[in-house]
Amino acid sequence: MSGRKPTVVVFDYGFGNVRSAERALAHVGADVEITGDYERAMAADGLLVPGVGAFAACMQGLRAARGDWIVGRRLAGSRPVLGICVGMQILFERGIEHGVETEGLDEWPGTVGPLAAPVVPHMGWNTVTPAAGSELFAGLDADARFYFVHSYAVREWTLEIANPAMRPPQVTWATHGEPFVAAVENGPLRATQFHPEKSGDAGAQLLTNWLGTL
């Protein structure tokens, strides 16, 4: 990307903090556009998929905007995608909220379910345990804190890589009542349960690291 800013589309399908994500990415040097347009989402160097609210509603909105197809097509071409909060959760096989099961994008196996914690939602700052060799968390201190707002999470990582020549996904964990998946790095597909755009300097460093992979 030498000589020009990486282009990022924040995918607007009605279920995310698109303005705060736009500001955070622009702050760290991206050329950012908020749009739900297929062609522009496909052409950008990076695609950010935000998400807030209920898993089922986000999936319904994403499918209505053809976002499921866009994500699939980008990943088929090794084009980077970053999911945030529920935008991360919908990348998994399914979500269960209030007894209702909804199919996700199934990029990773696993179920998004309610956190077993004394206080829910998990709202506020928390540390994480990054995966060894993580690119997203490179240069960050071990006590770096990130901003979370969620009541549901993936509590088990079940993906097994049968081919030893393939690099397994890197999984970062956090704990609120119980351990849960806080971030995943899997080739062109990256995701965080927390909000990097609301996580101050640590979040800015993470987004800078992501831009560096585009």
Q: What distance lies between CA 106 and its chain's CA centroid?
A: 14
Q: What whole-number distance in Å separates Cα of residue 32 and Cα of residue 134?
A: 25
Q: Could you tell me which residues are beta bridge partners of residue 153?
A: 113
Q: How far apart are the first and last CA of the chain?
A: 8
- CA angle 113/142/117 to nearest 5° reads 25
Of 123, 151, 120, 147, nearest to 54 by C-alpha is: 151
85 is catalytic: yes
Q: Could you tell me which residues are beta bridge partners of residue 46?
A: 8
**Region label for 149, one of left (φ > 0), alpha (ψ between -120 and 50) or beta (otherwise):** beta
Q: Are 192 and 153 in contact (CB under 8 A)?
A: no
Q: What distance lies between CA 100 and its chain's CA centroid?
A: 22
* The amino acid at 154: V
Catalytic residue (one of 85, 122, 176, 185): 85
Q: What whole-number distance in Å separates Cα of residue 119 and Cα of residue 130?
A: 24
Q: What whole-number distance in Å separates Cα of residue 50 and Cα of residue 17?
A: 7
Catalytic residue (one of 122, 150, 176, 195): 195
Active site residues: 85, 195, 197
